[in-house]
Structure 1
Amino acid sequence: MTDIEAAATAPAPQLDSERATLVEQWAQRHGVATAHRLAAAEDFADAVSKAITPENTDDTYDKSWRVWQRFCAAQGFPEAEGTRGALIAFVAWLLREGRQRPGPRGELGYAPTSARLHLEAAVIRLRRDGYPISKDTAAEARTALEGLTVQLLKAGERRGRGQAVAADVEGLHAIAAACDDSLTGRRDLALVLTGFNYASRASEPAGLFNGDVTVHSRGLIISVLTGKTKHSVREAKIPYAADPAICPVRAWIAYREQLVAEHGQERHGRPDDAAFHWIDPHGNIRFTTDEDGNKRYGLGSDGVTRAIKRISGRAGVPIRWTGHSLRAGLASTGRCKGKDAVAIADQGGWARHSRSMLGYMRRDDGWEDNAAAGLT
Structure 2
Amino acid sequence: MLSPPTEDSPSAPAPLRTDRQNLIERWAARHGVDAARRLAEAEDLADAVAQEITPDNTLDTYAKSWRVWTRFCAMTGLPEREGSRGALVAFVTWMLREGQQNGTGYASTSASTHLAAAVVGLRQRGVQVSSDDQAEARAALEGMTVKLLQNGERRGRGQAVGADVDGLRVIARACPNTLAGDRDKALILTGFHYASRAQDPAGLLAGDVALTPRGLVVSVLTGKTKHSVRDAKINRQDDREICPVEAWMAYRARLAAEAPPRWSEPTAPAFVGVDRHGNVTGGMVPDSVTRAVKRISARAGVPLAWTGHSLRIGLATTARKRGKDAVAIADQGGWARHSRSMNGYFQRVDGWEDNATAGLT
Q: What TM-score, normalized by structure 2, do the two folds share?
A: 0.90
**1:308 paired residue number:** 293
Secondary structure of the corresponding residue to residue 138 of structure 2 = helix
Note if contact 1:335-1:341 (Cα within 8 Å) is conserved in structure 2.
yes
Deviation of residue 207 (structure 1)?
1.1
**1:55 paired residue number:** 56
Pair 1:359-2:359 in alignment: no
* 1:234-313 matched pairs, under 5 angstroms: 234-263=230-259, 266-286=261-281, 297-313=282-298
Note if contact 2:206-2:270 (Cα within 8 Å) is conserved in structure 1.
yes
**1:319 paired residue number:** 304
Return the match for 1:342 from 324, 327, 330.
Answer: 327
Q: 1:71-107, CA deviations, whole angstroms, 9 ceiling, x for partnerless residues?
A: 22222221111111211121121111111115xxxxx
Tell me the distance in 1 between the aligned counterparts of 2:343 and 2:71: 35
Pair 1:227-2:223 in alignment: yes
**1:209 paired residue number:** 205
* Equivalent position amino acid for 2:37 in 1: H
- Aligned CA distance change for structure 1 residues 280 and 57 (closer, same or farther; 3 Å): same
Note if contact 1:204-1:227 (Cα within 8 Å) is conserved in structure 2.
no
* Equivalent position amino acid for 1:100 in 2: Q
Tell me the distance in 2 between the aligned counterparts of 1:278 and 1:68: 35
Tell me the distance in 2 between the aligned counterparts of 1:149 and 1:361: 26
**1:94 paired residue number:** 95
Secondary structure of the corresponding residue to residue 236 of structure 1 = strand
Identity %: 65
* 1:140-219 matched pairs, under 5 angstroms: 140-219=136-215
**1:65 paired residue number:** 66
Deviation of residue 16 (structure 1)?
5.3
- Aligned CA distance change for structure 1 residues 341 and 156 (closer, same or farther; 3 Å): farther
Note if contact 1:200-1:326 (Cα within 8 Å) is conserved in structure 2.
yes
Gaps of 5+ in 1: 4-14, 103-107, 287-296
Note if contact 2:95-2:111 (Cα within 8 Å) is conserved in structure 1.
yes
Q: 1:281-315, CA deviations, whole angstroms, 9 ceiling, x for partnerless residues?
A: 222222xxxxxxxxxx2111111111111111110
Deviation of residue 17 (structure 1)?
5.2
Q: 1:327-367, CA deviations, whole angstroms, 9 ceiling, x for partnerless residues?
A: 11111212222222221111111111111222333526944
Q: 1:158-190, CA deviations, whole angstroms, 9 ceiling, x for partnerless residues?
A: 111112221111110110110132211111100
Tell me the distance in 1 between the aligned counterparts of 2:145 and 2:305: 28
Tell me the distance in 1 between the aligned counterparts of 2:175 and 2:74: 52
Tell me the distance in 2 between the aligned counterparts of 1:101 and 1:186: 39
**1:35 paired residue number:** 36
**2:129 paired residue number:** 133
Tell me the distance in 2 between the aligned counterparts of 1:183 and 1:131: 53
Greater shift in the superposed pair: 228-237 or 333-342: 333-342
Tell me the distance in 1 between the aligned counterparts of 2:264 and 2:73: 54
Note if contact 1:87-1:141 (Cα within 8 Å) is conserved in structure 2.
yes
Greater shift in the superposed pair: 31-40 or 47-56: 31-40
Return the match for 2:112 from 116, 124, 129.
Answer: 116
Deviation of residue 373 (structure 1)?
5.3
Tell me the distance in 2 between the aligned counterparts of 1:206 and 1:30: 49
Secondary structure of the corresponding residue to residue 233 of structure 2 = strand
- Aligned CA distance change for structure 1 residues 249 and 132 (closer, same or farther; 3 Å): same
Note if contact 2:316-2:329 (Cα within 8 Å) is conserved in structure 1.
yes
Greater shift in the superposed pair: 127-136 or 18-27: 18-27
Deviation of residue 277 (structure 1)?
1.2
Deviation of residue 62 (structure 1)?
1.6
Root-mean-square deviation (CA, aligned residues, Å) is 2.2
Tell me the distance in 2 between the aligned counterparts of 1:179 and 1:309: 13
Note if contact 2:167-2:302 (Cα within 8 Å) is conserved in structure 1.
yes
Note if contact 1:110-1:159 (Cα within 8 Å) is conserved in structure 2.
yes
Q: What TM-score, normalized by structure 1, do the two folds share?
A: 0.86
Number of aligned positions between the proteins: 346
Q: 1:179-202, CA deviations, whole angstroms, 9 ceiling, x for partnerless residues?
A: 132211111100000000111111
**1:294 paired residue number:** none
Tell me the distance in 1 between the aligned counterparts of 2:111 and 2:105: 9
* Equivalent position amino acid for 2:327 in 1: V
